[in-house]
Chains A and B, each alone.
Chain A
C-alpha cells in the first residue's frame, strides 16, 4: 500500500482497513453468487406453488388428459406434450447430422481463410432473434413449405403416415420443426467444432499416417473421442427446442389434434403458454398454464443437468458452453 505506517496506531488502522476491504468484497461477491442460487430456487418454488391448484384438481392425470377446454374448466397437457415431443424430435433428427457435418467442415476441412468467416456466420445464425425468425417462418417459409415441399413429400413418400395431406397455410408442426432446426443447428455446430478442435492432433496424424482416409480418421478417431461431448451438445439443443416459445407460436398454428401427420397445426407446451398471454380467464386456467410451465421447467432442468453431468464427467475440455 502507498504510505509506510509510522505509528502503531496508523499500522492498526491500515490493517483494519485492509481486513474490512477483504471482508466486504468477499461478502458482496458471496451475496451475488447466493442471489443466483436464490433466483433459481425462487423460479422453481414459485412455478410449482402456482401450478398447485391445477395439480390438486387434475393430479398426474393432467399429463395424459387430451382435452383443453377453458369453457368447461377441463384441462389436460397431452396435446402439448405431443406437439413438443414431435416438433423437437423432428428438429433434432434433421439438425444433428447437419450440425456435426458443419462442425467437421469447420474443424477439419475449411481452408484457413474461410474457417473464421463461415464459423462466425454460423454463429450469427444463432443470434437472429427468435421473433424475427418466426416472422420469416410465418410469412415466407410456411407458404413455401405448404406449396412446394409438403405436396412433394406427400406424393413421393406419402405412404408413410407422417406425410399426410398438405396444409394450405403452412402453419403446423412441420414448419415449427424446420424453424427449430434452424435454431439448434448453429448451437450444436459450434459446440461440436470446439470438441473436434480439442482432439489431440497426434491421434489424428497417427490415423492418417496409418493410411486412413480423412473420413476414416473422422469415424475412427474424432467421433469416438468426442462422442459424449456431442451427446451433451445434442441434449442442450433439445433443451433449446423444447423451450422455444415465440417462433414456434408464430408458425405452429395452434390446436389440440394428436395424429400421425406432421403437417397439421398443433401446439407445444411453450407455444400454448405464449399464445395465452392475453390473460387466461379463470384461476384454474392460469394455474393449468403454470402447470404446463412446470412440466417445461422439469424438462429443461433434466436436459440441462444431464448435459452438464456428461460435460463435466467425460469431457476434459470444458469447451462446451
Chain B
C-alpha cells in the first residue's frame, strides 16, 4: 500500500471515529429521554399534578406537594442568589482592579466546582444540626449552587457591553452609579435573565444539597419554609431506592416532568442568550 493511501485511510478512519463519537453522545441522550418518556408518560395525568403523594404503601397519588415545594425552594434560592451574584459580578467588572478581581474570580470558580454534596453537608452543619430540616436551609443550599452560575453569566454579559457606552455616559458627566444602573444594566438584562434561568434549571434538578436539608417531609402540600419542603428530586431519589414497581412508575413520571422542565428551560435560555449576545455584539 502506498504511503499516500495509508495516510488517507488513517485520516478517513479518524473522521469516521469522531463522527461516531458525536453520534453516540446524541444517541445516549435520545435513549435516556425516550426511556424516561416511555416509562413515565403512562402515569402522568391531571391528577398526578394535583394530588399529593399517597401514604406509604397505598396506590395512586401524585406529586402536587413536591411540585409546590420545589417551586418554593427554587424561588427562595433565586431570591438569595440573584442579588449577590449580580452585585458581585458588577464589582468584578466595573470596580475591581485586576489584582483584586482575579483572586475573587478564582474563589467564585472554586465555589462553582465544589461537589454539591459538600455544599449540602455544609448547610446541614450550619443550619440543620441542632435544629430541624427546613425549607430555608434547602433553599440556602440551592442558592450556594446558583450563586457562582449567576455571577459568571452576569460577568460575561457585562464584559460584552462596549466600553464606548461606558465612556459616553461618563463623558456626559453621569455619575458612575447612574452609569451602571441606567446604562450598563439595562443593556445586559437579557443576559442576566438567561443566566438566571439556566441556574434555576440546574437548581431544580439538584438532589444532593437537599438530602441533608429538606428530605424528610410530609406528603401534604406544604408552604411553611421553617419545615422541610417536599421536592421532586428527593422524591425521585427515595422512590428509586425502593423495590416497589408502583413507586418506580411514580419516579419515572416525576423524572419525566423534571426532565422536561429542565431541558426546555435550558433550551429556551440558550436561545435567548444567543439572541441577546448578537444584540450586544452589534
| Cross-chain contact A101 with B263 (CB below 8 angstroms) | no
Contacts of B113 in A (CB 8 A): 236, 239-240, 300, 303-304, 307
A:301-317 near B, CB below 8 Å: 301, 303-305, 307-308, 312
- Is A227 among interface residues, defined by CB-CB distance under 8 A? no
Contacts of A296 in B (CB 8 A): 115, 117-118
A56 CB to nearest B CB, Å: 17
B247 CB to nearest A CB, Å: 11
**Measured CA separation A297–B108 after assembly (Å):** 15
- Is B180 among interface residues, defined by CB-CB distance under 8 A? yes
B233 CB to nearest A CB, Å: 5
**Measured CA separation A215–B19 after assembly (Å):** 13
With A98-B21, A270-B115 already in contact, the answer to whether A213 and B208 are too (CB < 8 A) is no
- Is B32 among interface residues, defined by CB-CB distance under 8 A? yes
| Cross-chain contact A46 with B125 (CB below 8 angstroms) | yes
Number of B residues, CB within 8 Å of A:
92
- Classify the secondary structure of A's interface with B: helix
- Is A199 among interface residues, defined by CB-CB distance under 8 A? no
Contacts of B263 in A (CB 8 A): 124, 127-128
Contact of B22 among A29, A37, A40, A101 (CB under 8 A): A101
**Measured CA separation A215–B109 after assembly (Å):** 34
- Is A54 among interface residues, defined by CB-CB distance under 8 A? no
B195 CB to nearest A CB, Å: 12
The segment from B9-17, B53-61, B222-230 found at the interface with A is: B9-17
- Is B196 among interface residues, defined by CB-CB distance under 8 A? no
Contact of A131 among B117, B152, B233 (CB under 8 A): B233
Number of A residues, CB within 8 Å of B:
90
| Cross-chain contact B32 with A290 (CB below 8 angstroms) | no
- Is A26 among interface residues, defined by CB-CB distance under 8 A? yes
Which of B8, B110, B181, B259 has the most C-beta atoms of chain A within 10 angstroms of its own C-beta? B110
- Is A65 among interface residues, defined by CB-CB distance under 8 A? no
**Measured CA separation A37–B84 after assembly (Å):** 12
Provide the A33-48 mask, 1 if CB < 8 A to any CB of B, else 0.
1011101101100110
Find the B residue at minimum CB distance from A242: B115
A:260-300 near B, CB below 8 Å: 270, 273-274, 277-278, 289-290, 293, 296-297, 300
**Measured CA separation A108–B22 after assembly (Å):** 12
A154 CB to nearest B CB, Å: 23
Contacts of A147 in B (CB 8 A): none
| Cross-chain contact A243 with B122 (CB below 8 angstroms) | no
21 contacts between A and B (CB under 8 A): A21-B176, A25-B90, A40-B110, A43-B114, A47-B118, A47-B125, A104-B18, A124-B263, A124-B266, A125-B28, A125-B29, A129-B206, A131-B205, A136-B36, A213-B10, A240-B113, A243-B114, A246-B207, A293-B117, A297-B118, A304-B114
12 additional A-B pairs beyond A36-B111, A43-B118, A46-B126, beta carbons within 8 Å, are A1-B178, A26-B95, A29-B88, A32-B84, A105-B19, A118-B26, A131-B205, A131-B207, A136-B36, A214-B14, A214-B15, A308-B109
